[in-house]
Amino acid sequence: MSEYEGNVSLVANKEGVLEIKPRVDGRWNSGNVTELLREMAKLPKDLRISNWSFWLDVADMPDLDKKPIKVVQFLAYTKTVDKIELVLVKRPFPQPKLKLTKGEGKGGKRATSSRVIL
């Protein structure tokens, strides 16, 4: 895993679920993730985002289901974490993801609360 060096866009797939996709002409990159989150906050709250487009790395929290979650839930997670990065993940295939980390993440020593109340 490393910082994603390209640009990305929010793209709705044929099911209407948002995905973060690499795009040469994309508006967002590692330097303006905050603007991406602000743009997402303007979207309808019940719109869904693909679980493949983000990585919630929080100690003592079980992995999320692989189904999409609502944008409002995703934004609630962003408010509880310590760090948000645009990274390149190589599993199962190379793809950009928003990595949300709290504490030292799942591999770290510190256990942190990850309770999100919507």
* 8 Å CB contact between 83 and 101: yes
Residues of the chain with pLDDT under 70: 107-118
Q: Is residue 111 part of a domain?
A: no
In a domain, 9, yes or no: yes
Across the beta sheet with 48-49, what order do the strands follow? 8-12, 18-22, 48-49, 69-70
Q: How many domains does the chain have?
A: 1
- Amino acid present at 45: K
| 84 Cβ contact list (under 8 Å, min separation 6) | 33, 37, 78, 98, 99, 100, 101
The answer to the question of residue 57 being in a domain is: yes
Range of the domain at 45: 2-102
This prediction has a pTM of 0.84
pLDDT at 106: 77
